[in-house]
């Protein structure tokens, strides 16, 4: 799928709340960057406790109101659990089960040092307590982590790289193996009771949907290293990235789903038009 010349982008919201202005910007940029190719939609609903059908319905409704149109069928991550399981099986020789809770990790990390604990795009840098455990001892309360050092060894590479159309577009972004180990660490590929993680699911689904250009907020820039590593391990193509600016409120804070005041629904109810929304977003 990804081998053809069609430019494909996607918008991948999680139905955990109403879409706000930041989502409108992300969706409009993705649709604009698809032109003249295809704009796809993916519902990222692996967090079953937080996702709600009414929020998914609101996503379609708000996107249609904005004037967007997307390819069908829409991909929904909860329909894709078998694909995530296949990938986990493939990566199992490079993984280990981990029973550490956040408190255990904090305690292990704070022992040798004082001050802020080291963290990266997947949270605290895991100190490796469970790294010796074999996969056949995985229990129901374990998460699955990637042994990142072993993953780099298996690939026989010292650096990862990707291109971004928006941030320093004329050069490759490069991260070394050591920078990955120190700044990101052993990432979680399957969360407790979830059967996957955001990072694993997004990589597999972007490949399955044949996405050639991934447009998303700058806040996910550092996560892209995890995605590029997983693409290499799973022999999937690395798309071109486009990490765009974030929409902030008047005090400079990034918008979150709980900020109801910025929900598109609220603007709609107040009589704002889609054209005015575009104007507010400088589009």
- Where along the sequence are the contacts to ligand GLU (CB under 6 A)? 12-14, 44, 202, 216, 220
Q: Are 138 and 103 in contact (CB under 8 A)?
A: no
Could you give the CA distance from residue 93 to residue 154 in angstroms, rounded to a whole number?
10
Residue keyed to tokens 């900020």: 259
Q: Are 186 and 146 in contact (CB under 8 A)?
A: yes
Instruction: Kindly report the backbone phi and psi dihedral angles of residue 92, in degrees, each rounded to the nearest multiple of 5, phi listed first.
Output: -50, -40
For residues 202 and 233, which CB has a smaller minimum distance to ligand GLU in the complex?
Answer: 202
For residues 29 and 91, which CB has a smaller minimum distance to ligand GLU in the complex?
Answer: 29
What is the nearest approach in angstroms of ligand GLU to the Cβ of residue 206?
8
For residues 12 and 91, which CB has a smaller minimum distance to ligand GLU in the complex?
Answer: 12
For residues 105 and 203, which CB has a smaller minimum distance to ligand GLU in the complex?
Answer: 203
For residues 19 and 143, which CB has a smaller minimum distance to ligand GLU in the complex?
Answer: 19
What is the nearest approach in angstroms of ligand GLU to the Cβ of residue 69?
19
What is the nearest approach in angstroms of ligand GLU to the Cβ of residue 35?
19
For residues 133 and 173, which CB has a smaller minimum distance to ligand GLU in the complex?
Answer: 173
What is the nearest approach in angstroms of ligand GLU to the Cβ of residue 241?
10
Instruction: Kindly report the backbone phi and psi dihedral angles of residue 2, in degrees, each rounded to the nearest multiple of 5, phi listed first.
Output: -75, -10
Could you give the CA distance from residue 46 to residue 81 in angstroms, rounded to a whole number?
9
What is the nearest approach in angstroms of ligand GLU to the Cβ of residue 73?
18
Distances (CA, A) of 91 to 122, 144, 162, 266: 18, 10, 22, 44
What is the nearest approach in angstroms of ligand GLU to the Cβ of residue 18?
13
Distances (CA, A) of 218 to 15, 27, 176, 223, 254: 20, 14, 20, 10, 11
Tokens matching residue 93:
């020789």
């Amino acid at each position: 799928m990804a081998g053809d010349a069609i430019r494909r982008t996607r918008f991948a919201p999680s139905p955990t709340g109403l879409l706000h202005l930041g989502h409108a910007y992300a969706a409009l940029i993705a649709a604009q960057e698809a032109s003249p190719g295809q704009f796809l939609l993916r519902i990222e609903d692996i967090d079953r406790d937080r996702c709600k059908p009414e929020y998914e319905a609101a996503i379609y409704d708000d996107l249609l109101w904005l004037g967007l149109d997307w390819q069908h069928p829409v991909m929904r991550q909860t329909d894709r659990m078998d694909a995530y399981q296949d990938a986990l099986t493939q990566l199992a020789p490079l993984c280990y089960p981990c029973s550490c809770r956040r408190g255990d990790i904090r305690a292990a990390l704070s022992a040798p040092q004082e001050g802020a604990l080291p963290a990266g795009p997947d949270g605290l840098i895991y100190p490796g307590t469970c790294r010796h455990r074999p996969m056949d001892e995985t229990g129901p309360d374990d998460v699955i982590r990637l042994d990142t050092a072993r993953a780099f060894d298996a690939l026989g590479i010292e650096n990862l790289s990707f291109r971004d159309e928006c941030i320093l577009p004329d050069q490759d972004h490069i991260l070394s193996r050591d920078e990955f180990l120190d700044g990101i660490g052993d990432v979680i590929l399957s969360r407790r009771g979830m059967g996957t993680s955001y990072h694993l699911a997004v990589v597999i689904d972007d490949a399955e949907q044949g996405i050639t250009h991934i447009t998303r907020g700058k806040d996910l820039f550092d996560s892209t290293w995890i995605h590029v590593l997983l693409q290499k391990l799973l022999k999937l193509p690395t798309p071109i990235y486009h990490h765009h600016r974030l929409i902030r409120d008047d005090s400079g804070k990034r918008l979150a789903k709980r900020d109801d005041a910025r929900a598109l629904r609220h603007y709609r109810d107040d009589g704002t038009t889609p054209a005015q929304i575009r104007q507010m977003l400088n589009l």
